[in-house]
């Protein structure tokens, strides 16, 4: 269980912005800033926030007493104090809680995905494609639509349904070029509905995206939202 928790923490910490920082950038970081007490406190607070954010995605903590108990246990451990409980006695209950809470969290997640997809499908001018992906054009383009084997150049931004951004070619200031057979099926079908210059919201049910596989900060079984701008159809 410790290995799973630590792996999850590393995933939470390795956000796209962190991944883009080179080793050279880290090596040349201002030492005075790192040693500044105020900056150190901010860094440690950020670490604590990420730990908490990661924990709440694994456990169901329902009230203030739950938070206080977990917080006190972490505090005692970090301060090298003796445990106030028989840890071996409670390990089976901890494992059981992780297992039960995982089911509850997954059920909530699936219900939220279902509700979002149903509501988006009801919006005006939304087209539901044969694979379940949905597209809503906000700007019509001109020219020919691409085929599945076409190479296209696009700008895009990808978010989870809660608004968490996981990728953006706009942020990199670098359009993305790909053959439509090399991307998720949502894109393969969705971008074929666009003409150069078009902009659209592309909503991808999990089965048209990454399914039950996690992908970076994207949890398993997640619907995805892409704002896509088709710049060119290259062939």
Whether 184 contacts 204, CB under 8 Å = yes
Q: Per-block average pLDDT, block size 10, for the chain (235 residues)?
A: 41 43 49 72 90 86 90 93 95 95 92 96 96 97 95 97 96 97 96 97 97 90 97 90
| Residues 20, 166, 123: CA angle, nearest 5 degrees | 155
Whether 135 is catalytic: no
Say how far apart CA 216 and CA 213 lie, in whole Å: 10
Whether 228 contacts 200, CB under 8 Å = yes
The single residue of 167, 170, 176, 225 carrying the catalytic annotation is: 167
User: What is residue 165's three-state secondary structure?
Assistant: strand
Say how far apart CA 166 and CA 204 lie, in whole Å: 14
Whether 94 is catalytic: no
| Residues 84, 77, 48: CA angle, nearest 5 degrees | 130
What pLDDT shows up at residue 15?
42
pTM for the full predicted model: 0.73
What pLDDT shows up at residue 25?
52
The single residue of 166, 218, 225, 235 carrying the catalytic annotation is: 166
Say how far apart CA 216 and CA 198 lie, in whole Å: 28
| Residues 40, 45, 51: CA angle, nearest 5 degrees | 130
What pLDDT shows up at residue 152?
97
Whether 156 is catalytic: yes
Whether 166 is catalytic: yes
**CB neighbour list of residue 186: distance below 8 Å, 6 or more residues apart:** 131, 133, 202, 203, 204, 205, 208, 209, 224, 226
What pLDDT shows up at residue 234?
86
The single residue of 156, 171, 217, 235 carrying the catalytic annotation is: 156
The single residue of 135, 218, 225, 226 carrying the catalytic annotation is: 226
Give the domains, in start order, of the chain with CATH numbers: 2-116 (no CATH), 125-233 (3.10.50.40)
Whether 101 is catalytic: no
Give which of 235, 230, 232, 148 is closest to 186, Cα–Cα. 148
Whether 161 is catalytic: no
The single residue of 184, 218, 225, 235 carrying the catalytic annotation is: 184
Give which of 178, 93, 42, 41 is closest to 226, Cα–Cα. 178
What pLDDT shows up at residue 34?
56
Q: What is the dihedral of CA 199, 205, 210, 214, to 10 degrees?
A: 110
């Amino acid at each position: 269980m410790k290995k799973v928790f630590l792996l999850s923490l590393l995933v939470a910490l390795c956000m796209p912005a962190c991944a883009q920082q080179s080793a050279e950038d880290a090596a040349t970081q201002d030492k005075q800033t790192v040693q500044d007490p105020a900056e150190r406190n901010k860094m440690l607070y950020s670490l604590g926030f990420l730990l908490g954010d990661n924990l709440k995605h694994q456990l169901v903590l329902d009230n203030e007493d739950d938070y206080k108990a977990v917080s006190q246990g972490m505090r005692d451990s970090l301060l090298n104090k003796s445990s106030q409980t028989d840890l071996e006695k409670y390990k089976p209950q901890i494992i059981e809680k992780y297992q039960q809470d995982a089911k509850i969290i997954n059920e909530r997640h699936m219900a939220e995905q279902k509700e979002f997809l149903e509501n988006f499908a009801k919006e005006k001018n939304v087209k539901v494609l044969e694979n379940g992906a949905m597209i809503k054009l906000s700007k019509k383009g001109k020219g020919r639509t691409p085929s599945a084997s076409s190479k296209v150049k696009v700008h895009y931004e990808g978010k989870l349904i809660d608004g968490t951004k996981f990728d953006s070619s706009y942020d990199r200031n670098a359009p993305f070029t790909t053959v439509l057979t090399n991307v998720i099926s949502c894109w393969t079908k969705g971008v074929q509905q666009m003409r150069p210059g078009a902009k659209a919201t592309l909503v991808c049910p999990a089965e048209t995206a990454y399914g039950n596989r996690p992908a970076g900060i994207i949890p398993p079984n997640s619907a995805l939202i892409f704002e896509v701008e088709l710049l060119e159809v290259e062939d």
